[in-house]
Structure 1
Amino acid sequence: MQQSAVPELAHTHTRPIHWVATATAVAGVVALSSVVQPGSATAAQTHTDTRGPSTPAALAPPSTTGVDFPLQCGPVKAVVAKKATADLDGDGRPETVAVVHCDSAMGTPPDGVYVLTRTPDSDTPRIVATLVDPKDRLTVTDFTLHAGTVGATLLGYSSDAVPNCCPDLKTPTTWHWNGNAFIRSTPTDTHSV
């Protein structure tokens, strides 16, 4: 066996003092980390209402629970399929946009798209706009709410002869508040499905 030309290093063997030093260093790091903390999170947006004092209830978006949507569902109930909230009209209070249809076991029930709001003096949500009327036999897909604009793809029918199961038209659509009403924008071409 050949001997090493380098003398044996003293620090390559662990001794109890090494373990004590390591434990002390770890305890120091833990103690220091409990004293030094990051600042509090600021993800919540603040709102300044120039019309007067606001309450948390006035800033909460309207709920869809208990709203009597104008659908003729017969013995089945109306179902909120999708919903999103945002301040669509710039008044500092969020509105809720809901996509609603009858809870049908068969076929493709038509959707209605409704904008809900509530006044500062009432907790009861109310429908202020109908963006899609269920009487138009449209199904809403790709529902979005971004920067005050409601977006959706509407699946519809080229004629009354097309069965409810199989919409044959596809129309991307957006709605934007113009200060008085929601204005619908659609591209000039409607695509066949």
Structure 2
Amino acid sequence: MQSLPGADLPHTHPRAVHWIATAAAMAGAIALAALIQPPTVAAGNDGAGGHAGRPAPGPDATAVTYPVDCADTEPEVVRHGSADFDADGRAETVAVVRCRAAAGTPPSGMYVVSAAAKPGQSPSVTETLLDPGEGMSVGEFAVRENEISATLLGYSSPDVPRSKPDKQRKVTWTWENGRFRLTAEPVPGTRV
């Protein structure tokens, strides 16, 4: 059998370097294809605020007037998170708010903030989950798809320093049938 012309040339014998170069080129092509995405659907056409299935971001937690009396100061937003609880394509924001204090831990309020109903209006508080008048503060805090979870911290008596809460309870608010349902876990150290 006669060999093909050029069959004995060095570049016609596959070697490890050829396979590595081919693999690197294919990896580059795959990475480039992953970066190139089709354009998203125009706002208003996908029923989800133009974010291809994701809700529009929640309202700015700092742009709201909260029902908190802080005497001479403004309340501060210490934590916040967003989720589209009512599945209308616009996320609501959950904010943990308290008065500024030089010492101790002032009580917290937890509020659900909804986007303005009309252009030019400000977002507003639509639900109070925790009133600062209850005297508790919020420890751990998380917002997920249809759930808000928190650890509420409190005091067993007025003699307990406000910087060292000695009571805690994990609670969850779940969005069900158009409203938030509160579920509280047993108080640590108690029998169920």
Q: State TM-score, norm by structure 2.
A: 0.69
- Separation in 1, partners of 2:113, 2:99: 18
The question of 1:131 aligning with 2:126 is answered no
- Separation in 2, partners of 1:88, 1:140: 21
Choose the corresponding residue for 1:67, options 58, 64, 67: 64
The aligned runs of 1:102-117 (5 Å cut-off) are 102-117=99-114
The corresponding residue for 1:150 is 148
Choose the corresponding residue for 1:94, options 91, 96, 107: 91
Deviates most, 67-76 or 160-169? 160-169
- Separation in 2, partners of 1:113, 1:45: 35
Choose the corresponding residue for 1:38, options 33, 37, 55: 33
Greater CA radius of gyration, 1 or 2? 1
The corresponding residue for 1:76 is 73
The letter of the residue matching 1:64 is A
The corresponding residue for 2:175 is 177
CA contact (8 A) 2:168 2:187 kept: no
* 1:183 counterpart SS class: strand
Relative to 1, partners in 2 of residues 1:112 and 1:173: Cα closer, same or farther, differing over 3 Å? same
Alpha-carbon RMSD = 3.3
The letter of the residue matching 1:179 is N
- Separation in 2, partners of 1:182, 1:149: 9
How many Å apart are 1:55 and its aligned residue? 6.3
Relative to 1, partners in 2 of residues 1:162 and 1:59: Cα closer, same or farther, differing over 3 Å? same
- Separation in 1, partners of 2:189, 2:177: 31
Relative to 1, partners in 2 of residues 1:76 and 1:183: Cα closer, same or farther, differing over 3 Å? same
CA contact (8 A) 1:171 1:191 kept: no
* 1:39 counterpart SS class: helix
How many Å apart are 1:119 and its aligned residue? 4.1
Q: State TM-score, norm by structure 1.
A: 0.69
Specify every segment of 5 or more residues in structure 1 that has no aligned partner in the other structure, as ranges.
Answer: 1-25
How many Å apart are 1:70 and its aligned residue? 1.1
Relative to 1, partners in 2 of residues 1:41 and 1:87: Cα closer, same or farther, differing over 3 Å? farther
How many Å apart are 1:64 and its aligned residue? 1.6
The letter of the residue matching 2:100 is D
Specify every segment of 5 or more residues in structure 2 that has no aligned partner in the other structure, as ranges.
Answer: 1-20
Q: Percent identity?
A: 32
